[in-house]
Amino acid sequence: MRANYNQTLTLAQREGLRRLKHIALDMDGTLYLGSRLFPFTLDFLDRLGRIGIGHSFLTNNPTRSVADYLTKLAGLGISATEDNMYTTSLAAIDYIKEHHPQARRLFMLGTPSMVSQFEKAGFEACADDPADVPDVLVVAFDTTLVYSRLCRAAWWASQGIPYVATNPDRVCPTDQPTVLVDCGSLQKCIEHATLRRPDIVLGKPDPTMLYGICHRHGIRPDEIAMVGDRIYTDTAMAHNAGAFGVLTLSGETTLDTALAVAADAAINPAPEFYPPDLIIRDVAELADLLESVRRS
């Protein structure tokens, strides 16, 4: 087995790994980066099946519909069904239907693929027109962003329209030489312009999606691990849900950052970010550890 960053697992880590029945997997930065599949991903998923641990794909990135995500995964060689997927678009749809049951028309900052997911759920998209008043404002990661639509979103926020954001991510991971400005940064832009924050920010670290996976598979939060490359979303979500948080260093977070967060949490009773229960180099190392604790 390859050396892991924890070297020797603590008793709590071993017990946490031994309890697991399901893995919730972040995708970008965990299984692939941009359009590049990590070389260990397919073997990792196969090993999970052999161990008898289920998995779901969970992402804060709402730019693609579930159908488009399944197509992308298939193109990378990853087999998945709709039951394997939970996105922040689905979380936003569920939230609006529960908390604003009369809402039908939405003004959305989001890609056409994302908008199609909302339309499939029965919603209609409002035009960029002050006369087309929405029932709810939805702000998401929008790689097709048009300046006038950002201004319109800020206008509706300033008018007190119910305001839902899909995720808090500041940037989206990429293997390209650029910075992909994500939903959290768009929220800050609107807030700076209007002094209005979203009524709710869904997606990680909000635990709603993880609870949904637990309900779907009939398991407890302590029987699921949230695996991802970000402390402020992935492992924070695990903490908020009472799940096992696994940080992989294959994406955004460096080992130095992870260790600094752990050191801060050791002396600060209310840290900004909660450290992960386990740090791994990549998901292949997680499979090593899962196999190891089941042999011991």
What pLDDT is attached to residue 241? 95
Quick: pLDDT tens for 7-27: 589 999 999 999 999 999 999
Residues 123 and 50 in one domain: no
Confidence (pLDDT) at 1 = 34
195, 227: one domain: no
The residue assigned the tokens 């979203």 is: 198
Whether 242 and 143 map to the same domain: the answer is: no
**Can you read off the two tokens belonging to residue 249?**
């260093």
Asked if the structure places residue 70 within a domain, the reply is: no
Provide the domain count of the chain: 2
Q: Could you say which of 201, 223, 245 is where a domain stops?
A: 201
Cut 0.85: pTM above it: no
185 & 245 share domain: no
Contact by Cβ (8 Å): 196, 190: yes
> Are 288 and 214 in a shared domain?
yes
DSSP the chain: ----TTSS--HHHHHHHHH--EEEE--BTTTEETTEE-TTHHHHHHHHHHHT-EEEEEES--SS-HHHHHHHHHHTT----GGGEEEHHHHHHHHHHHH-TT--EEEEES-HHHHHHHHHTT-EEPPS-TTS--SEEEE---TT--HHHHHHHHHHHHTT--EEES---SEE--SSSS-EE-HHHHHHHHHHHHS---SEE-STTSTHHHHHHHHHHT--GGGEEEEES-IIIIIHHHHHHT-EEEEETTSS--HHHHHHHHHHHHH-SS-SSPPPSEEESSHHHHHHHHHHHHH-
Q: Sign of torsion, CA 129 135 139 140?
A: negative
Residues 6+ apart with CB under 8 A from 228: 25, 26, 29, 30, 204, 234, 235, 246, 247, 248, 251
Q: pLDDT tens digits for 81-107?
A: 998 998 999 989 989 998 999 999 999
Q: State which residues form the domain around 192.
A: 92-201
pLDDT along the chain (296 residues), means of 10: 57 96 94 92 96 93 91 94 91 92 98 96 97 98 97 98 94 88 97 98 90 90 96 91 96 88 79 87 96 89
Does residue 211 fall inside a structural domain?
yes
Are residue 212 and residue 193 in the same domain, yes or no? no
User: Which pLDDT value is given to residue 4?
Assistant: 45
Structural domain includes residue 86: no
Instruction: Check residue 252 and give its pLDDT.
Output: 87
CATH number at residue 30: 3.40.50.1000
Q: Which of 201, 220, 252 is the last residue of a domain?
A: 201
Asked whether residue 110 falls in the same domain as residue 164, the answer is yes
214 and 230 in a single domain? The answer is yes
Instruction: Kindly state whether residue 100 falls inside one of the protein's structural domains.
Output: yes
* 254 inside domain: yes
What are 291's two structure tokens?
A: 């196999």
**pLDDT score recorded for residue 258:** 86
Instruction: Please identify, among 201, 229, 251, the residue that sits at the C-terminal boundary of a domain.
Output: 201
Q: Are residues 196 and 211 in the same domain?
A: no
Question: What pLDDT does residue 7 have?
Answer: 54
